Amino acid sequence: MSNFWSFYIIAIVALNIGGCAWLLMWTRTMDKDDMPADGTTGHVYDGIREYNNPLPRWWLWLFWITIFFAIGYLTLYPGLGKFQGVLGWSSHNELAKDEKDYQAQYGAIYANYAKMPFEQLAKDDRAMKIAGRLFANNCSACHGADAHGGRGFPNLTDNDWLYGGEPDRIYETIMEGRNGMMPAWKDILGAQGVKEAASYALSLSGRENLDHKLVAAGQEKFATNCAACHGPDGKGNPMMGAPNLTDTIWLYGGSESTVIKTLTEGRNGMMPAWKDILGPERVHLLAAYVWSMSHNK
């Protein structure tokens, strides 16, 4: 934060607190010489006279207590620009303390699990219960509470894996994240070319009722433009995250219109890296849990 914004915040806070205090004092000492002797303001509406009575004392003291509390709080804690407060409290220090306490309580447990092979961890009920909570807190927002995924988010309970389903590959995916990119082909293939390539891609999974002329024309376009990633047989490439087009599993949907949309506009998928959030030991446990969902059936 620059000095300008620091002073700006301090000025705004000070003016607000000072303004409240001034308003309370002004309302108590305001000139009453011009007021009628009967204690009213002289304002009458519909037969009702407005009296100039002071605020109840308890109510007035609540305002003063609020002001004193604000001054005390801003003295002890951050709130005035760059001033950190007398106590030196910060959310970063609080988080560091919580993480230290957490590590002291659970670090040994995770360290022990990190030494166990994935297959052995997958059979440990206690370990999988802990991993299940990790999944619910960090992964279910995208993959669903049941890990069945959704449009654009992979199902983790089947045997279809974009980057490989071996435990080490799952661990790598969670640790480092993934960035999947399907380029847009509308400017290269044109509308007709996209339709032909889509027809051929659909035929690879045994789709029927397709225009055979479009399929035949799309085969050449697939070999020229798509095989580099998806392979000449369309079975994909886990090293690149290119999906297998010969099955019936479609990340964004397998209707003809959806496939045409994918080819026309492209797709961008991002799996965040969790190494700095969970750490290698918890990722090891989580990888075993994800692997178990498609193997312990």
Q: What are the tokens at 88?
A: 């030196």
Cβ partners under 8 Å of residue 262, min gap 6: 182, 252
Cβ partners under 8 Å of residue 157, min gap 6: 146, 147, 148, 293, 294
Instruction: State residue 236's pLDDT score.
Output: 94
Taking only the tens place, the pLDDT of each residue in 127-137 is 999 999 999 99
The chain-wide mean pLDDT, for the chain, equals 91
Is 286 a residue whose pLDDT tops 60? yes
CB neighbourhood size of 188 (10 A): 13
Which H or E run includes 268?
Answer: strand 267-271
Cβ partners under 8 Å of residue 137, min gap 6: none
Which H or E run includes 178?
Answer: strand 178-182
Letter for the amino acid at 56?
Answer: P
Instruction: Give 24's pLDDT tier (boundaries 50, 70, 90).
Output: confident
Distance CA 146, CA 135 (A): 10
Is 199 a residue whose pLDDT tops 70? yes
Distance CA 182, CA 269 (A): 9
Instruction: Give 213's pLDDT tier (boundaries 50, 70, 90).
Output: very high
Tell me whether the CATH fold assigned to 106-177+273-293 matches the one assigned to 180-271. Answer: yes
Distance CA 297, CA 292 (A): 8
CATH 1.10.760.10 for domain 106-177+273-293: yes
Is 236 within 8 Å of 245 (Cβ atoms)?
yes
Is 174 a residue whose pLDDT tops 70? yes
Q: What are the tokens at 108?
A: 């040994």
Which residue has tokens 């000095």? 3
For the entire predicted model, the pTM comes to 0.72
Domains of the chain: which residue ranges?
Answer: 3-91, 106-177+273-293, 180-271
Instruction: State residue 296's pLDDT score.
Output: 67
Distance CA 66, CA 57 (A): 14
Instruction: State residue 102's pLDDT score.
Output: 84
Is 293 within 8 Å of 170 (Cβ atoms)?
no
Q: What are the tokens at 100?
A: 């230290």
* Burial grade of 37 (CB within 10 A; 0-12, 13-18, 19 or more): exposed
CA–CA–CA angle 98, 104, 106 (5° rounding): 95
**Mean pLDDT, residues 53-78:** 91
Direct distance between the N- and C-terminal alpha carbons of the chain, in angstroms, rounded to an integer: 55
Give the 3-state secondary structure percentages of the chain, helix then strand then coil, rounded to 5. 55, 10, 35
Q: What are the tokens at 29?
A: 């000492």
Cβ partners under 8 Å of residue 290, min gap 6: 135, 139, 147, 156, 170, 174
Is 180 within 8 Å of 241 (Cβ atoms)?
yes
Domain 180-271 top-level CATH class: mainly alpha
Taking only the tens place, the pLDDT of each residue in 94-122 is 999 998 998 888 889 999 999 999 999 99
